[in-house]
Structure 1
Amino acid sequence: MFSKLKRILHPENMLFKMIILNCGLLLLVTLVLTAAGNYIYEESIAERSYANTMEIQNQVLKSLDLIFKSVEDNVEALGNYPEVQEYLNVDVENQQASRVELERQVRDLLLDYSRIYSEYLNIVVVSEKGQYLSNDSYRVKKLPLTEEKWYQDAVLANGELVLSPTSLGRNLKAWKNYSTDNYVSTAKLICDRQTSAGIGVILIDLDLKSIQNLVEDITMGQTGFGYIQDSQGHVLYAPQNEVVYRMNPNWVTDGESGRVRCRIKGKDYNVIYSHSKYTDLTAVGVFDWGKTIEGISRARTVSKWIAVIIMIFAAGATVIFSASITRPISTLSKLMKKAQTGDMTVRFENHYKGEIGQLGDSFNAMVEKINELLGVVYKEQKNKREAELKILHEQIKPHFLYNTLDTIQWMAKQYHAQDIVDLVLALSGFFRISLSQGKEFITLEQEVLMVKNYLDIQKVRYEDLFEYKTEIEEGLGNYMVLKICLQPLVENALYHGIKESDQDRGTIWIRAFSESEDSIILKVEDDGAGMSQERIDQLNSWLKLKERGEEVKAYGTLNVNDRIKIAYGDEYGLHYEKRTGGGTVAVVRLKRLQKEVCGKF
């Protein structure tokens, strides 16, 4: 059992590879899908929280705009009252009596405003000359209020409402002793209705309860909260939360709105902000991102367990599925090893379908074919051996012929029959060269000598019917040529040229010369009867054919041409020309071959 498991888990085992591959792919797909799902879910939560928070913050900022617009309108209306205009323009030293009456009227007006607008905790009117009136506050020090920062900021704002989130260090104290954390100060420059010149500033301390109600209505999940800060980064209002005062104001100053991920005290927070152009205030929402995506963390844990369970089932299914493929392949592998050792009786019991079945059928067919081929090879080897023995026996016949010709020559010499001696020598030389111990190629010198022997034999028969001449370029005699490539052409020149001619005596020329560094030309010429141009063209066309019909004659010539093309290639061969002065020229083009490059000679 252990050895079988060890064999299965071997890295080279196909079953092991398939298990690793399938499980690896499944694990990869599971991890990718889980990661992609978590990422998409996390981004979806972030986008949804961003959109919802932005919508709430924009509503809060619009409400704040309305509140401060109302304050600005009331300040503007209060500053345009004739009593207030006169009070701000009164000459304190020269109009003492009227000043007292104006102060009473303005103070009553301020009290009426504070009763109507209960969120106005304190209203202060300050002239540019330094005198002031308030419904609920007094000056702490005898320093002019015109030197206060809020006053100077209002003057510099040139008629715009100015917000001051903190009143610490201010030279004013309320009779009701309001905490500085309970209100936000607003100030606005009041201009003379006639000259439009600045004549004073009205300050209103606005109760933060109205802003507090707006901010606390912002629901941002279980751990999220919101706060308001001004353009200087000062917190206007925020719930009790230590994270607020660890926020960097610069995180929420990039553009009119946006979001940023920051880390505070080891936790990640998602910060979403939106800016109001009118009040220059920024509404900020802060989320504990870890708490927000707790669901994703739980989903990741569940995904991991699901992946583990899937992997276990997948591994089991892979083992079963892979075994159904590897088992028959393993069986085939064992059968192939047996066949490799020479056992051709093995067969694959094929009860499979599909590719495995085709593989099994192919194996059985291969073994049967190998059996057949082995039988054929055995038979061929047996026939080859028999042929070698037969050739050995046949070699006795040429030797017997040569010995017989030598005996005839010796006897002719004894009787002084020189013509018979010459004839026997020519015949013996012809046979020796034509047989050449079975060689396919011989030297050009040997080929020409064989033709000479043939013509010498024919001269004995036909006496003075013809004569022959040989012209061999010096140095070509040692080049190898195809055996018996000239004799059939010389025979044709004798029988179809010289014999059929009307003249009493003819001539046959055998010539050999170089055509190029790679080829040589052999020519067999006769001045006999010759052929018509039409016959020459027909014969040359037959020589170019690779397949010929029954109407094609001239078997000897065609045989020489085919042997040349097989031995040298299609660019070499034989063709005929008409000889000037009568007769025919057979032209043979051969490849120039040295002895040392002809391995089969």
Structure 2
Amino acid sequence: MLRTIQNMSASIRGKPVKLALKIPFLYFLVILLSVAFSYVVFNQISTHSAQNNMNEASLQTLTSIQTNVDFMVENVNNYSKMIFSDENLQNLLRQGNVYANLPTQSKVSLYLYNLMQAVPMIDSVYIFDNSGNLFSIGTQQSPTFTRANVQDAQWYSQVVSEQGKYILKLNGSGAFTESAEQNFVSFIRLIRDIDDTSTLGVLVINIKGEAFVKAYANLPNPSALPFAILDERNQIIAAHATDEVPFALFEQLLASDDLEIKPALQQTNAGFLPLESGSQSYTASFLTGGSNKWTFLSITPHNVVRTVNKSLVLLALALLIINGAVFFVTSFMISRSIIQPIHRLLRAMTKSKSGRFQKVPATRSSYEFQQLFNGYNNMIEQIDQLLKRIIEEQHTIRKAELNTLQAQIKPHFLYNTLDSITSLALSGLNDQVCDMLEALGGYYRASVSKGRDIITVGEEIEMVRNYLKIQKARYRDIFEAVYDVDESCCAIRIPKLVLQPLVENSLYHGIRSYGTKGTIRIRARRSGGMLTISVADDGMGMSEEEVARIIGSERDGQIQSFGLWGTLERLRIFYDDRSHFKIDSEPGKGTAITLFIPIGDGDEA
């Protein structure tokens, strides 16, 4: 591992790293990043899923608690019906005063006491008559008769408006002086005459607060869920606290004006709400509604969710690490099968640096390497052939360049032309001197052509015209020049000094050697994609053996025809063997050399 890090450090400093180390190292980085990313993503997803599951479970538990509480309240409602349906209580209240008949009072007291003994959740019972009297009895107090005007109670108008339906008030809204430390819920309803439904008084049944906490005692794992029951004013009726969520936290969250829990309770009947208290995060699940308009609230700390989710995340991380290790080991095996054939190829390529081109036996381990080795072997073979061809062409190019240079600037041609100009000047033929100088300048301007190696056919013809114009001044009665050039050919680009060597050969070796006046014909045509240029004379001519001998002697470096073979070879190399030529010659009838040059898309000016 240390060596791998050192090699990667060398790569950072600009040195290449072996592929055998680079591939496993990159695999390791990919695996490491993949495991880390997968762990983060899976942790987020699983945490979110666990939070949702816990929220749903909390909501289901709250629903069960709400159902149990509603059932308990409905039982109290049934007990209330039993109480105000009691004949003794009805008779006593019909008299308008609960003090009217002591024996009847005793019977009512005994009945209520026995009911509270049978129903432990009832803490006390209060009966108000219409005369401002109060009769009360409780589990911790004896029957008591006091003066109390029920109309002074805060809830009186509400219970009257309900027309016999019950209402629930936390701690009786302060109408009673209970000494119990815990909260209680007052079940309040009108007492009506069972005969004519007239109002006889008000019945109050105080339910112990702890009875509501016990409403979820029969649920699975009842001690795990911290919850609170809130009245319509979001006051805590009863609460079940845990070590993670103490009772004080419920009071703190409900008392704070900065939290959104109160608005959320008013906007929807059920939902979830994230909360913050200090450095701890919580999720509140709430359920509200029903005839009582009570709210059932549970608070779950996020660390509980993380604890539940921790084992699952660790298991997933272990699986990711195991899979990553297997993948990493496999990467070594895969990289080895790839690197070995590459090393064989690199060894062969290293030997080629010293000029030893060695083929590599093709491997059959994979189709790609087999094609690579076959391609390399074909390349080696082609390079070997190309080197031989380049060496041969270099010799040809050197000869052709030498011939071109000789054709461009021939000292004897320049000296002879200047001698002719001098003679004309001494003879006083100034007009001819000017024509000769103009032709000589035009010839050399075209020959140099601003350093260009490629000129148009029109420029090449103009250079030949100037050349023959000079030669005409020197040899007045030896030759005539005839030009038959198609205008469409003048814009075609060709290598410089293609025609001049051929025209020179026709003049010196064809006509002048023959000793009689002759004609040089220069013709240019285009046909399809080929340019056809011919230079013909009616001079001495040659036999086939002489043509072969002249070309062969120039190929061997013995210049006799002033650049014929060099010109042909220049065209062959320039056009990649796509150009060709034809020589028609017959002794005593002259010689015609025809060039066939391909025309490309960019060969026209």
Pick the TM interval, shorter chain: 0.5 to 0.7
Partner of 1:112: 111
SS of the residue corresponding to residue 217 of structure 1 reads: coil
Counterpart of 1:126 (choices 125, 128, 132) is 128
Provide closer, same or farther for how the CA distance between residues 6 and 359 of structure 1 changes in structure 2, counting only shifts above 3 A: farther
Per-residue deviation, 1:159: 4.8
Retained in 2: the 8 A contact 1:269–1:286? yes
2-side partners of 1:35 and 1:134: how far apart?
64
Partner of 1:232: 233
Partner of 1:345: 357
1-side partners of 2:153 and 2:448: how far apart?
128
SS of the residue corresponding to residue 168 of structure 2 reads: strand
Retained in 1: the 8 A contact 2:446–2:460? no
Partner of 2:39: 34
Is it true that 1:46 corresponds to 2:59 in the alignment?
no
Is it true that 1:249 corresponds to 2:254 in the alignment?
yes
Per-residue deviation, 1:256: 1.5
2-side partners of 1:134 and 1:4: how far apart?
90
Partner of 1:100: 100
Identity rate of aligned residues, in percent? 16
Per-residue deviation, 1:126: 0.9
Is it true that 1:69 corresponds to 2:64 in the alignment?
no
Which has the larger displacement, 50-59 or 325-334?
325-334
Cα shift readout 1:259-298 (whole Å, capped 9, x = no counterpart): 3344568655544332242122233344454345434223
**What are the residue-to-residue correspondences of 1:165-180 with 2, within 5 Å?**
165-166=170-171, 171=176, 179=180
1-side partners of 2:68 and 2:388: how far apart?
105
Provide closer, same or farther for how the CA distance between residues 110 and 440 of structure 1 changes in structure 2, counting only shifts above 3 A: same
Retained in 1: the 8 A contact 2:227–2:297? yes
2-side partners of 1:355 and 1:198: how far apart?
101
Provide closer, same or farther for how the CA distance between residues 190 and 482 of structure 1 changes in structure 2, counting only shifts above 3 A: farther
Partner of 1:546: 528
**For residue 69 of structure 1, what is the amino acid of its counterpart?**
E
1-side partners of 2:176 and 2:436: how far apart?
151
**For residue 439 of structure 1, what is the amino acid of its counterpart?**
S
1-side partners of 2:536 and 2:162: how far apart?
124
SS of the residue corresponding to residue 374 of structure 1 reads: helix
How many residue pairs get aligned? The number is 479
Per-residue deviation, 1:225: 3.9
Is it true that 1:18 corresponds to 2:23 in the alignment?
yes
Retained in 2: the 8 A contact 1:190–1:201? yes
Retained in 2: the 8 A contact 1:224–1:288? no
Retained in 2: the 8 A contact 1:114–1:122? no
Provide closer, same or farther for how the CA distance between residues 438 and 146 of structure 1 changes in structure 2, counting only shifts above 3 A: closer
Provide closer, same or farther for how the CA distance between residues 25 and 70 of structure 1 changes in structure 2, counting only shifts above 3 A: same
SS of the residue corresponding to residue 238 of structure 1 reads: strand
Partner of 2:215: 214
**What are the residue-to-residue correspondences of 1:73-472 with 2, within 5 Å?**
74-75=79-80, 79=84, 100-101=100-101, 104-105=103-104, 108-109=107-108, 111-112=110-111, 115-116=114-115, 118-119=118-119, 120-136=122-138, 144=149, 146-149=151-154, 154-155=159-160, 159-166=164-171, 171=176, 179=180, 181=182, 184-190=185-191, 200-207=201-208, 211-220=212-221, 223-239=224-240, 241=242, 243-247=246-250, 248-249=253-254, 251=261, 253-254=265-266, 255-262=268-275, 268-287=281-300, 289-329=302-342, 332-333=345-346, 335-336=348-349, 339=352, 341-348=353-360, 350-351=362-363, 353-387=366-400, 399=412, 439=447
Cα shift readout 1:304-348 (whole Å, capped 9, x = no counterpart): 455445544444433343244345435545654554x54243444
Which has the larger displacement, 389-398 or 66-75?
389-398
2-side partners of 1:401 and 1:231: how far apart?
124
Cα shift readout 1:121-165 (whole Å, capped 9, x = no counterpart): 432221344112235555698664554456576457665423234
Retained in 1: the 8 A contact 2:35–2:321? no
5+ residue gaps, structure 2, are: 256-260, 450-458, 481-495, 504-522, 538-592
Provide closer, same or farther for how the CA distance between residues 342 and 87 of structure 1 changes in structure 2, counting only shifts above 3 A: same
Which has the larger displacement, 228-237 or 136-145?
136-145
Per-residue deviation, 1:100: 1.5
Per-residue deviation, 1:377: 1.8
Provide closer, same or farther for how the CA distance between residues 437 and 125 of structure 1 changes in structure 2, counting only shifts above 3 A: closer
SS of the residue corresponding to residue 300 of structure 1 reads: helix
SS of the residue corresponding to residue 100 of structure 2 reads: helix
Partner of 1:512: none
Per-residue deviation, 1:448: 7.2
Partner of 1:586: none
Per-residue deviation, 1:19: 2.5
SS of the residue corresponding to residue 258 of structure 1 reads: strand
Retained in 2: the 8 A contact 1:127–1:199? yes
Retained in 1: the 8 A contact 2:229–2:294? yes
Provide closer, same or farther for how the CA distance between residues 50 and 107 of structure 1 changes in structure 2, counting only shifts above 3 A: farther
Retained in 2: the 8 A contact 1:269–1:289? yes
1-side partners of 2:367 and 2:434: how far apart?
74
* Bigger CA radius of gyration: 1
SS of the residue corresponding to residue 69 of structure 1 reads: helix
Provide closer, same or farther for how the CA distance between residues 3 and 291 of structure 1 changes in structure 2, counting only shifts above 3 A: closer
SS of the residue corresponding to residue 274 of structure 1 reads: strand
1-side partners of 2:467 and 2:408: how far apart?
21
Retained in 1: the 8 A contact 2:127–2:201? yes
Cα shift readout 1:488-532 (whole Å, capped 9, x = no counterpart): 9xxxxxxxxxxxxxxxxxxxxxxxxxxxxxxxxxxxxxxxxxxxx
2-side partners of 1:462 and 1:53: how far apart?
119
Per-residue deviation, 1:381: 2.0
Cα shift readout 1:535-566 (whole Å, capped 9, x = no counterpart): xxxx9xx967434799x99999xx99999999
TM-score between both structures, scaled by the size of structure 2: 0.59
Provide closer, same or farther for how the CA distance between residues 234 and 157 of structure 1 changes in structure 2, counting only shifts above 3 A: farther
Cα shift readout 1:362-414 (whole Å, capped 9, x = no counterpart): 3333333333222222212223344556678889999389859979x98x999
Per-residue deviation, 1:112: 3.2
SS of the residue corresponding to residue 122 of structure 1 reads: strand
Provide closer, same or farther for how the CA distance between residues 149 and 555 of structure 1 changes in structure 2, counting only shifts above 3 A: farther
1-side partners of 2:308 and 2:3: how far apart?
47
2-side partners of 1:329 and 1:379: how far apart?
34
2-side partners of 1:462 and 1:217: how far apart?
133
Which has the larger displacement, 317-326 or 71-80?
71-80
**For residue 363 of structure 2, what is the amino acid of its counterpart?**
H
